[in-house]
Amino acid sequence: MTQTIGLIFLGPPGSGKGTQAQLLSELFGLLHISTGDILRKAIAQKTPLGEKAQSYVERGDLVPDQLLLDLISHTLKSPPAKQGWILDGFPRTVPQAIFLDELLQQFKDSSLRVIDLEVPDEIIVERLLSRKREDDSEDIIRHRLTVYYQKTAPVLDYYRAKGSLHSVDGNRQPQDVTASLQEIIKA
């Protein structure tokens, strides 16, 4: 029996997580899981979890961790995730990482790889400003980077201590980053 591949993509906003997750999803037949996508889908399908999430979204509040974790748990147990999956930008906190580890213990034949896409802040700022989105001013981007480092650095340390963190230089051509990621997956 082959192992189910589980990938966690971490990295600052603009590091290429979504782009690489989409490419690898297509190459390996893995389910690309984005928490934002999960929330939108659950709300649109009016699932019980989606209905709970909708009330928070409508008020403009953050969806509580437990509800988000329930949605991820449900998604990872779904048939499309059986072949393998990529979590894009999750977990964001150590408690979320611990919950995810506990959840993944239910899957006996799974192989987890945590990937940190490293890109210098100045390149991130340049990439995000080039998108020309209203909410992407330099001040807002730099604030998002600060929040990312404050919240996610402990997650990187958590996975580094467990020996499952792979750092990849994300400041290269997308195909070169993809090639490095393929090597990690096949290892």
Residue 161 lies in a domain: yes
Mean pLDDT of 32-58: 86
Q: With CA atoms as reference, report the closest residue to 97 among 151, 52, 150, 32.
A: 151
Does residue 34 sit in helix, strand or coil? strand
For residue 178, is it within any domain? yes
Could you tell me if residue 118 is inside a domain? yes
Per-residue pLDDT, 2: 62
Residue 80 preceded by cis peptide, ω within 30: no
C-alpha distances out from residue 9 to 53, 79, 85, 152, Å: 24, 21, 11, 12
Read off the pLDDT of residues 65-123 as tens digits, 9 standing for 90 and up.
Answer: 888 888 888 889 889 998 899 999 789 889 999 999 988 888 777 788 999 999 999 99
pLDDT tens-digit series, residues 118-163: 999 999 999 999 988 776 789 989 988 998 898 888 999 999 999 9
Quick check: is 67 in a domain? Answer: no
Question: Does residue 71 form part of some domain?
Answer: no
Number of DSSP helices (H) and strands (E) in the chain, helices first: 8, 5
The whole-number pLDDT of residue 177 equals 97
What is the pTM for the complete model shown?
0.85
Distance CA 10, CA 93 (A): 11
Say yes or no to pLDDT of 53 above 90. Answer: no
pLDDT band at 1 (very low <50, low <70, confident <90, very high): very low
Which pLDDT does position 11 carry in this prediction? 92
Q: Are strands 110-118 and 31-34 parallel, antiparallel or unpaired?
A: unpaired
Tokens 């782009």 appear where? 19
Higher pLDDT, 27 or 4: 27
Q: What pLDDT sits at residue 159? A: 96
Q: What is the domain range of residue 133?
A: 4-33+84-186
The larger pLDDT score, comparing residue 123 to residue 42, is at 123
The pLDDT of residue 114 is 96
78 inside domain: no
Q: How many CA atoms lie within 13 A of 129 on its CB side?
A: 11
**Gap between the Cα atoms of 145 and 150, Å rounded:** 9
Domain count for the chain, please give it: 1
> 9: helix, coil or strand?
strand
Cα–Cα distance for residue pair 163/12, rounded to 1 Å? 21
pLDDT at 60: 64
| Residue 163 within a domain | yes
CATH number for the domain spanning 106: value is 3.40.50.300
Nearest to 33 by CA among 9, 50, 63, 4: 9
Q: What is the pLDDT of residue 66?
A: 86
Q: What is the mean pLDDT of residues 15-38?
A: 91
Domain-located, residue 55: no
Residue 49: HSE in the Cβ half-sphere, 13 Å Cα cutoff? 18
